[in-house]
Amino acid sequence: KNIKIGEDMCQGVGLGETVSFNVNVTTKSCKTNSSSFKVFAAAFGEVEIDVHTICNCECQDDKEYNSFDCSRNGDLTCGRCSCNNGWYGKECECESTKNNPSVVNRCKRTNTSNTVCEGNGECACNECKCDLVKNTGQSYYGKYCQCSDFNCDEYHGKLCGGEARGVCKCGKCECKKGHLGSNCGTTDCSIENSKCLDTNGVYCSGHGECKCGKCLCDSFYEGDVCQRCPTCIDKCDDFKQCVLCKVFDHHTANKTICDDCPHMKIWESLDAVRKLGYPVTCEDEDAEGCNYYFTYGKIGDENATTVFVVSKKDCPKDPDLLVIVLAVMSGIVAIGIILLILWKLLTTMVDRNEYQRFKRDRARSKWHREKNPLYQSPTHTVYNPIYTGKRQKRYSWLM
């Protein structure tokens, strides 16, 4: 039994048992090929150990000069390349004008850096060969493999807030117009406020407040730029007489109405007027039955109201008498043709029913010659009288 208590003591060893000693020997030089030393063990005595040092491997005799495995720039010995002057690297693939260049330092971003190629690649021939970014098809890039397009700050779970806000370049977000911050999560209100302008260049149509590109509308107003007011009382009735007399030259009994009218502007179409974006589009009918359209509002910072009128009225067209006459005649002809077709169909159906009934009656009839009152025999029997007695006297009936 071999029990080790310390580094140099054994206890519990019985007679006939074998004790093993492990001795580690380190050679510090190859000055002598052989040497010896003694190991002393209590109760066992001393043991002298002879050491023979092998300083050269057997493979060294099989050196391959200018080996292909060493890029033809060094000798292959025992599986390792010994590079010629001016070459270095694992396979002597790198050329240098200096012997034993400091390869590692050239692949470090700073002299105090502890990692080569920022830990994202390998140093080869004084240059960093960058690795692929994990779970992507793209590599790190940059002189020291220090750049990646996948390590930027996120906004709402997306790098740089997503493509609509910015893109990641070498660890930093390049924000698009209208967005700011390290993750492009901040909105640039100085640019976004232009979204609050209506078609006349007024913020929120004058009925709200612009907050970073969004209108906070006043009560009763709605829309992207507060351009609609469904419950507002319109002034169409106040301006319709002005429109008639100023634009369409309709004379009124009260001439002061036309003198007090606001400024008028003429537009070519109703769509153009509606595109102005004012809350109310007025429509009214004149004495001739024609409809006219207009709207009203303020332009920019002006206090005065301007009325925008469609230049042409929408009048009903006179009926075309020729078209009416032709339509009536066509209708009469069509009705006549339809009636003829119906009469023909009716008579055809009645005739067909009569013919079918006749066929059924004929199939049920069973006439015999004796019972047929119309039947006449093709032969006729004539009986000739036969004389059977004496000649009778003639009597003269003449008187």
How far is CA 198 from each of CA 25, 307, 378, rounded to the nearest angstrom? 93, 17, 115
How far CA 187 is from CA of 156, 160, 314, in Å, comes to 14, 13, 47
Q: What is the pLDDT of residue 333?
A: 93
Per-residue confidence (pLDDT) for residue 368, from 0 to 100:
54
Q: How far is the C-alpha of 68 from the C-alpha of 92, rounded, in Å?
A: 10
Q: Which two tokens mark 351? A: 């005739």
- Answer yes or no: are the C-beta atoms of 104 and 89 closer than 8 Å: no
CA 78, chain centre distance (Å)? 61
Give me the residue label for tokens 């580690």. 24
* Residue partners of 339: CB distance under 8 A and separation at least 6: none
pTM of the model: 0.35
Q: With beta carbons less than 8 A apart as the criterion, state whether 169 and 149 touch.
A: yes
> Quick check: 48 and 67 in contact, CB under 8 A?
no
By DSSP bridging, strand 172-175 and strand 166-169 are antiparallel
Cβ–Cβ < 8 Å for 115, 125: no
Provide the pLDDT for residue 4: 42
Token pair of 73 as six digits: 């720039």
C-alpha atoms less than 13 angstroms from C-alpha of 10 in its C-beta half-sphere: 16
Q: Report which residue type is found at 15.
A: L
User: Could you tell me the residue ranges of all domains in the chain?
Assistant: 68-187, 191-232, 235-314
Per CATH, 68-187 and 235-314 having the same topology is answered no
Per-residue confidence (pLDDT) for residue 389, from 0 to 100: 61
Alpha helix ranges (H) inside 11-93: none
The class level of CATH for 235-314 reads few secondary structures
Class of the CATH domain delimited by 68-187? mainly beta
Tokens (6 digits) for 189: 């209100």
Q: Which fold is adopted by the domain 191-232?
A: Laminin (2.10.25)
Place of tokens 């006749």: 358
Looking at residue 19, what is its pLDDT?
Answer: 76
Give start and end residues of each alpha helix (H) in the chain: 103-106, 189-192, 236-246, 256-259, 270-274, 321-364
Cα–Cα nearest to 152, from 167, 132, 142: 167
Amino acid letter for position 9: M
Query: For the chain (length 399 residues), average pLDDT per consecutive 10?
Result: 48 75 76 76 76 74 85 87 84 68 66 83 84 87 90 90 91 89 86 83 85 85 82 76 85 72 86 82 86 83 81 81 87 93 92 88 65 68 70 49
pLDDT at 335: 94
Length of the chain counted residue by residue: 399
Q: Using CA atoms, how far apart are residues 62 and 330, in angstroms rounded to an integer?
A: 117
Would you state the structure tokens that stand for residue 167, as one six-digit string?
């893109």
